[in-house]
Structure 1
Amino acid sequence: MKFIHAADLHLGSPFKGLTDLPLQIKQQVLQAITQSFTALIDTAVKQKVDFVILAGDQFDDVQRNLQAQVLLQQQLIRLADAQIPVFMVYGNHDYLTADQAMINLPDNVRVFGPKVTTKTLQTKSGVTVAVSGFSYDQNHITTDRLAEYPQRQSQVDYQIGILHGQIGQPGDNYAPFTLQELMSKGYDYWALGHIHQRSILAQKPYIIYPGNIQGRHRNETEAKGFYLVNYDGQQTRPQFQASAPVIWQNVTLSVADLTDIDKLMAAIQAAITVPENTLVELTLTQVQTLPPKLLEKITSGELLATLQTLDHQQHFNYVYRLKTEAQPLQVYQSIDAQYWQAAAKEVFQADAIQKHLGKLQQVEAIRELYQQKDFPQWIQQQTLTLLEQNEGELQ
């Protein structure tokens, strides 16, 4: 038996904040979710899977963009033509409401309502599968719904639970649950949704977040896709399938000891590890060590502009943002002890302090403090303390 587990398609997601991309790259990014979902359906048809699970948030918004609805309908019709059933729940982004304008889905799609129900299927190879789950009917579900899921049915060969939710306690916003609760049901597989970070929470049974099928911003890095799951009658073997055509990458690069622009450019190209179709946020650290003229190329925006004009005809590693960070300089630690002590003898003296205090001596609290016998030593200690506390800001 084979099936696909996917979640968080977010069809119709707007990809906010990328308006300055070159037109060619922007078009690829805007089509990325569609291409990833199409690749998922391609795999289902090619692998002749027994069914597909969509574990919530098929749409990015409860209003369900019409173009996104048509896309979902067309791709699910492809599965219907291949005689592949679909088990689908709605999540917190695309929850069910009474007044939604919804396009009809083909008959191969089995949609779960707001109550936990169980649907059964017999595969072509004769495996009996039970699938339990529910759809959101509001944005937040703060109750633990696991008590409504039935225990594993003895008369079936394989049982799956679909849950769009998060590990947590009652009162949390998204159908909170615990791993212990999931395991106690005796199911063979838990198909989770909602968390966009791919994660296998347990292996006996498999409890899996597949993540979303396409990263939509800088916090959704790494390859994105879905799981192709094989069951041989004894063991379950999930295999991640990357389908996202665009990958986000956050790169941090130390530029210490780089002395010219050629070395800097070479270091940047080596740091961007994903081979193609990558949107990169690049952070350069220890920039204070660069020669002034090289640093100016960065701070003026010239380096970023140059990186963005490289050839992107076929594939791209596009640096959409460039940041710099200056690392702490241990200034006070680099001062030779004997020079510090010599300076201290000259500066931290009553006469010198009185001279520099000037009109501040008219403030009663300062005057009283200054008149104390150990005031010079106190000033010296406070100076050292401030240096230690602010070392990260010293340039």
Structure 2
Amino acid sequence: MKFAHLADTHLGYRQYGLFEREKDFYEVFDKVIDKIIEEKVDFVVHSGDLFETARPSPMALLTFQKGLLKLKGAGIPMYAIAGNHDVVMRKGSIPPHVIFKKMGLKVISTINPTYIHGDIFIAGLPYYPASHGKALKSKLAELSEKATHHEKSILVLHQGIDQYFNLNYELELGEIPDNFDYYALGHIHKYVNDTYGKGRLVYPGSGEIWKTSELPDYKKNGKGFVVVDFDGTKPIVKRVTVDIPREFIERNLNYNNLETDIAAIKDTIKGFDKKPILKLTIKDVESDTSRVYEIIKEELGDLSLMIRPTFIMAGEEIEPIDVESKKLGPEQLIEKSLEGYGNSEVTTLAIDLYHLLSKDKLDESQEIINQYFDAHYSNVVEDVEFKTEEVKKPQPPEEKEDVQVTFSKEVSE
């Protein structure tokens, strides 16, 4: 028995507002589905962020439907959970996945968190924000207990774990049950394949480059999915990569050698089928940056889909930023500003609200505020005793002599 594990396909993502980039994500997904069928797996696990939003575009829905029907035609079912992009943080809401249940998609949810495929127990949960940590750990304990009754088991989650995602995580590694044979994780876009408990813990990474910080991992591990062989005593994980439609090119250019550096980029991208995205750092700039940008745009604009330049002026020293060791960004600013409050739950609530409000998810924001209030303050009002007999009636103000104010009309020139 073997299965494919993928995650973070983000169908419908229009990176940089470009429809070409949205189509790239669809193209990669089609390639992944075809490769999965070639691998002759028994089933597929998708561990979250199938779509970019909880309200996918018609094209995103049609692309997934096409892939799902291909799998169905090959006799390969898919099990999927909702990630933080798929889920709507509101009571009674449902992820877009449910549209495809009648087409054979097995939706793993809080209502139906477990399935049996042959002799394999498949359990999972949709994304839980950090502010819902207690509920998540309680649910995980329940699934862990159920897994003890099965010889082989898979846990499907879409969560950031501290050991692999040290900026803003929802779980510490030790908080995950250790009695599953395979941990099918999503949420982190880099490839992770590690041992945990008695099995393997794997993040297959995203299918496409969702942001430029993924480039180092892409150069090392590529983009794609994994195939897991469950026939032996321990799962065997094989990495399967797919070619992304267009390349991201990172280059350092020197202002004093601009012509030669631009010529080298032209040689690099000459044979590409699709226009690449250029991430350029121009150093030792001695004149107006707008003029430098115009030169780059004139030379490379027609050969690239987008140019993302960073300018470093002459004499300016830029300290390299190690994002793995330095806490940067809005989440960390929120953490720092609330350090003195002494309540980690307030901090996680604030971070969750930041992510929701930045995407105009007003209903979801109101919902997690309501949930937090219900969990922490629902009993406060009930405990208050209103003793109306002790309330003194307001007394009329003391009578005072009328004061007449006379304004003299004086105009000074």
Structure-2-length-normalised TM-score: 0.62
- Secondary structure of 1:84's partner? coil
Choose from 297, 312, 337 the match for 1:304. 297
- Secondary structure of 2:101's partner? coil
Cα 1:327–1:199 change in 2 (3 A) is: farther
Partner of 2:365: none
Is the Cα–Cα contact under 8 Å of residues 215 and 248 in structure 1 kept in the other structure? no
Q: CA deviation at 1:228?
A: 2.1
Cα 1:33–1:328 change in 2 (3 A) is: same
Question: In structure 1, what is the Cα distance between the partners aligned to 2:16 and 2:306?
Answer: 16
Partner of 2:77: 85
Partner of 2:66: 74
Cα 1:319–1:12 change in 2 (3 A) is: closer
Partner of 1:226: 225
Cα 1:301–1:13 change in 2 (3 A) is: same
- Secondary structure of 2:282's partner? strand
Cα 1:270–1:229 change in 2 (3 A) is: farther
Cα 1:271–1:74 change in 2 (3 A) is: closer
Q: CA deviation at 1:250?
A: 5.8
Cα 1:95–1:322 change in 2 (3 A) is: closer
Choose from 49, 52, 60 the match for 1:60. 52
Cα 1:43–1:299 change in 2 (3 A) is: same
Mark the runs of 5 or more structure 1 residues left unpaired by the alignment: 19-25, 123-127, 311-316, 331-395
Mark the runs of 5 or more structure 2 residues left unpaired by the alignment: 318-413
Q: CA deviation at 1:115?
A: 4.7
Partner of 1:178: 172
Cα 1:17–1:68 change in 2 (3 A) is: closer
Partner of 1:10: 10
Question: In structure 2, what is the Cα distance between the partners aligned to 1:273 and 1:206?
Answer: 42
Cα 1:136–1:274 change in 2 (3 A) is: farther
Is the Cα–Cα contact under 8 Å of residues 47 and 80 in structure 2 kept in the other structure? yes
- Secondary structure of 2:144's partner? coil
Superimposed CA distance per residue, residues 63-115 of structure 1 (whole angstroms, 9 cap, x where no aligned partner)? 23333223222321221121112111112222266466753434532211225
- CA-atom RMSD in angstroms: 3.7
Residue type at the aligned position of 2:159: G
Q: CA deviation at 1:118?
A: 2.5
Please list, as runs of the form range in 1=range in 2, the aligned pairs for 1:27-176 lying within 5 A after superposition. Answer: 27=20, 29-95=21-87, 98=92, 103-106=99-102, 108-115=104-111, 117-122=113-118, 128-136=119-127, 141-143=132-134, 144-145=136-137, 146-151=140-145, 153=147, 156-168=150-162, 176=170
Is the Cα–Cα contact under 8 Å of residues 152 and 186 in structure 1 kept in the other structure? no
Structure with the greater alpha carbon radius of gyration? 1
Question: In structure 1, what is the Cα distance between the partners aligned to 2:158 and 2:200?
Answer: 15
Q: How many pairs are equivalent?
A: 301
Partner of 1:193: 186
Question: In structure 2, what is the Cα distance between the partners aligned to 1:114 and 1:273?
Answer: 50
Cα 1:99–1:303 change in 2 (3 A) is: closer
Partner of 2:242: 243
Structure with greater proportional helix content: 2
Structure-1-length-normalised TM-score: 0.64
Partner of 1:338: none
